[in-house]
Amino acid sequence: MKKTIIRKMLTSALGMMLITSMNAVAFASELSSGVSVTDEISVDISKIMTVSNPDLNNVDGPGMSYSYEINTVTPSADNGGISVTDSDNNTGNVHAGPENGVILLTSEVSFPVGTAVNASQSGAENKKYFTATTDLSKFTAPGIYRYQIKETLEPQDPISIGVNDTGDRERYLDVYLENSETGLKVAGYTLHDKYNNKTDGFNGGSTGTGQPFTGAAAFETKNIILETQVAGNMGNRDHQFPFSGVVKDNGRSFCAKKGEVPDAEVDTIEGSVSGSPISTTLAHTEKYYISGLSAAAIVDYTETNNTPDTYSISISGGNDSNASQVAPGEEKTMGEASVNDSAKVVFTNALDTVSPTGIVLRYGYAVFLIVAGATLVMLRRRSRKENN
């Protein structure tokens, strides 16, 4: 009888221990979602830059960098609450982490100029990571401990280089510690915003019970097209008109190509660097594509009239839209224009039929002098004959 009672008590106790253990595992697993534990004490935290381009699979980096610092913080309703509850209604209080309990092994990520980033029409994600690690010697008991991570941008005004990054600059890292046979161990991490929305870094994040994060950093690159149109009855549609220009884009490289839309599988950003002169020649309807520019890029094109005729040249998409007479050897420049303002710049070179009246008007004064001189010579000869 006593053996039966003891057996039942042991079975019941073992069952309670198993349930408690399962709940603890479920609690840690549920609340540590959102980041990947790279080893027993460290975790990688991501920064995402989403890059888009209509044609290219890669573009030059925007020249954006981020730095991070981590500090202990007192849990409150302003940073995710003073307690957390998992899906099984297990609740745990959150404590301020001890000083230097979590440190950053790496504290910077960058998307520099001169290093290609992936791009697509809808936007390709480029992830960089910085690493946090836990110093278990700073902790004296198991529990949930909170730290604040702050993000700093360079440049501080990302729009100035064409990057849209209005995301939150603060995240909160909760560290879950539990007992082990040898002491404390890290059971998991949770990275979240002040509304307790979980995320894996300083980027979009998921929508929780509070407000969602603002969007991830976005780098929308653009393309611009230069085209020549020849108009008028006398315009030479086969002639190659020379163009020169400069693209200013924070020292970034771009893809420059004449004749057809760049091929994402073949064409790359190599070979052309902003600030360096570019040149090409274009006949009627021919196009010159410059791809992979940031929204902050400035372009300037100049056409040279290398024909023996005076063309009337007008520009659409540039700062100088007025038609002007451009004599042989002279130039017509569009002036600096933002890529944001125009995706296409068209130089229209017009030369119409010259009428006989036009010839008389153009050379009338010279003809008048010739006729007047001939008449004067004839009158002098007649006067000499009469005197003789």
The pLDDT of residue 319 is 64
Quick one: pLDDT at residue 26?
31
pLDDT reported for residue 8: 39
Closest among 298, 160, 269 to 219, alpha carbons compared: 160
Q: Which of 6-10, 179-183, 197-201 has the lowest mean pLDDT?
A: 6-10
**Above 90 in pLDDT, residue 133?**
yes
Q: Which residues contact 13 (CB under 8 A, 6 or more apart)?
A: none
Extract the tokens encoding 342. 């125009």
pLDDT at 51 over 90: yes
The answer, yes or no, to whether residue 364 has pLDDT greater than 80, is: no
Query: Which of 159-168, 207-216, 294-303 bottoms out in mean pLDDT, i.e. has the lowest?
Result: 207-216
Question: What pLDDT sits at residue 158?
Answer: 93
Of 332 and 340, more confident: 332
Q: Are the C-beta atoms of residues 80 and 174 closer than 8 Å to each other?
A: yes
For domain 221-350, give the CATH number: 2.60.40.1140
- Choice between 49 and 12, residue whose per-residue pLDDT is larger: 49
Q: Tell me the domain boundaries of the chain.
A: 2-219, 221-350, 358-388
Kindly give, in sequence order, each residue whose CB lies less than 8 Å from that of residue 109, ignoring residues fewer than 6 positions away.
47, 65, 66, 128, 129, 130
Which tens digit of pLDDT belongs to each residue from 57-96? 999 999 999 999 999 999 999 998 999 887 788 889 999 9
Q: What is the pLDDT of residue 86?
A: 76
Distances, alpha carbon 381 to alpha carbons 370, 387, 388, in Å: 17, 10, 11
More confident residue, 267 or 313: 313
Q: Give percent of the chain with pLDDT exceeding 90.
A: 44
- What pLDDT, on the 0 to 100 scale, is given for residue 348? 95
| 158, two tokens | 């990302």
Work out the average pLDDT over 290-314. Answer: 92
Predicted confidence band at 110 (pLDDT cuts at 50, 70, 90)? very high
What is the reported pLDDT for 50? 93
Sign of CA dihedral 284, 288, 294, 299: negative
**How confident is the prediction for the chain on average, in pLDDT?**
79
Phi, psi of 358, deg, nearest 5: -65, -40
pLDDT for the residue numbered 99: 97
